[in-house]
């Protein structure tokens, strides 16, 4: 069955469409950018984004999506704010220790921009619930911290042809990639990271993580999401960026769809209709 195009692919809007005077003032620095302008900002203000994870990566993602004026953000996380989170999870505060991360993040986002509608889901999404959330979104940002969730999000994005912005950070090493699954020939997360190659999970609770690293990667994820929605610049689709915070160096690796991928290969896509 043919899918309706994501909202970020809507045709150009009339000048000033959907933006009132207050919005034109608030987002004036975006409007001044030729690659965004009024039309791109209007797309941001009408977009629906799903963010899975409200921790180290999710914190900058959520704050930047709110500050940029994304119309509706659904944030999913089943965890509570812990004192050990505050070294890097900048959406949370000492006074909100013990609070659900999704509620803490919503408070931070509303203080930054009350115009963004924030929906919270205080659970670990899986199965039909994850599928429904992905289907309802225009774009998905994976800010989770485990491979099982990443693969589940990827499979749902493939099924519903939703662009996916993925990030990860551990110790001093970070990475970010975009999978624009609206394209029939796009590779997916499983093409790049087959689950058989993952081995043991690495968590910052055991391995540690350099605090600004999650800010760098999360900010990059937010930038890619905003660009995809607004139709600005060139996305990271088909490219993996790797950041070494020790050396302050970036490396890029290109990837393509694996024809034998059990998630997005021709046989799998045919099964999705």
So which residues are the catalytic ones? 204
pLDDT at site 266: 79
The answer to whether residue 267 sits within a structural domain is: yes
Check if the beta carbon of residue 164 is closer than 8 Å to that of residue 178: yes
Backbone angles phi, psi at 67, to 5 degrees: -65, -30
Residue 197 within any structural domain of the chain: yes
Do the domain assignments include residue 166? yes
Q: Which tokens is 161 given?
A: 């042809």
Of 65, 102, 42, nearest to 224 by C-alpha is: 65
- Position 103 scores a pLDDT of 98
Residue given tokens 């093409």 in the structure block: 191
Residue 168 lies in a domain: yes
Instruction: Please report which helix (H) or strand (E) contains residue 31, including its range.
Output: helix 28-31
Domain contains 100? yes
Rounded to 5 degrees, φ, ψ at 110 are -70, -35
38 located within any domain? yes
* Dihedral of the alpha carbons of 129, 134, 135, 139, in degrees to the nearest 10: 160
The pLDDT of residue 163: 98
Q: Is residue 86 part of a domain?
A: yes
Q: Which two tokens stand for residue 24?
A: 């034109």
Please state, in angstroms and rounded to a whole number, the distance separating the CA atoms of residues 130 and 254. 28
How many domains does the structure of the chain reveal? 1
pLDDT value at position 31? 96
The answer to whether residue 21 sits within a structural domain is no
Cα torsion 17, 21, 24, 27: sign: negative
Structural domain span for residue 184: 28-272
Q: Nearest CA to 125 among 72, 75, 166, 56?
A: 75
The dihedrals phi and psi of 142, each to the nearest 5 degrees, come to -95, 105
Cβ(249)–Cβ(216) below 8 Å: no
Q: What is the CATH number of the domain that holds 84?
A: 3.40.50.720
Identify the pLDDT of residue 195.
Answer: 80
What's residue 16's pLDDT? 40
Would you give the distance in Å from CA 139 to the centre of its chain? Answer: 7
pLDDT, residue 270, reads 54
- What average pLDDT values come out for the chain (273 residues) when binned by 10 residues? 38 52 96 96 97 98 98 98 97 98 98 98 95 98 95 97 97 97 95 71 74 98 98 96 98 95 80 52
Find tokens 């959406």 and name the residue: 91
Q: Is the dihedral of CA 225, 141, 150, 201 positive or negative?
A: positive
């Amino acid at each position: 069955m043919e899918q309706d195009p994501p909202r970020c692919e809507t045709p150009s809007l009339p000048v000033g469409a959907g933006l009132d005077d207050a919005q034109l003032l608030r987002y004036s620095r975006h409007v001044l950018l030729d690659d965004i302008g009024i039309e791109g900002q209007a797309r941001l203000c009408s977009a629906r984004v799903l963010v899975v994870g409200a921790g180290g990566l999710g914190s900058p993602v959520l704050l930047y999506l709110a500050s940029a004026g994304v119309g509706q953000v659904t944030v999913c996380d089943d965890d509570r704010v812990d004192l050990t989170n505050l070294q890097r999870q900048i959406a949370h505060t000492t006074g909100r220790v013990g609070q659900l991360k999704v509620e803490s993040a919503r408070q931070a986002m509303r203080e930054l921009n009350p115009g963004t509608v924030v929906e919270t889901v205080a659970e670990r999404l899986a199965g039909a619930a994850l599928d429904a959330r992905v289907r309802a979104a225009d774009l998905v940002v994976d800010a989770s911290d485990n491979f099982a969730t990443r693969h589940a999000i990827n499979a749902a994005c493939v099924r519903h042809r939703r662009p996916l912005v993925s990030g990860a950070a551990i110790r001093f090493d970070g990475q970010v990639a975009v999978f624009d699954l609206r394209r029939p020939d796009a590779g997916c997360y499983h093409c790049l990271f087959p689950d058989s190659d993952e081995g043991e999970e690495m968590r910052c609770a055991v391995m540690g993580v350099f605090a600004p690293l999650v800010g760098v990667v999360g900010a990059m994820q937010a930038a890619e999401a905003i660009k995809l929605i607004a139709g600005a610049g060139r996305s990271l689709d088909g490219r993996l960026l790797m950041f070494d915070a020790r050396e302050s160096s970036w490396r890029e690796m290109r990837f393509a769809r694996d024809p034998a991928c059990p998630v997005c290969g021709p046989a799998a896509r045919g099964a999705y209709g």
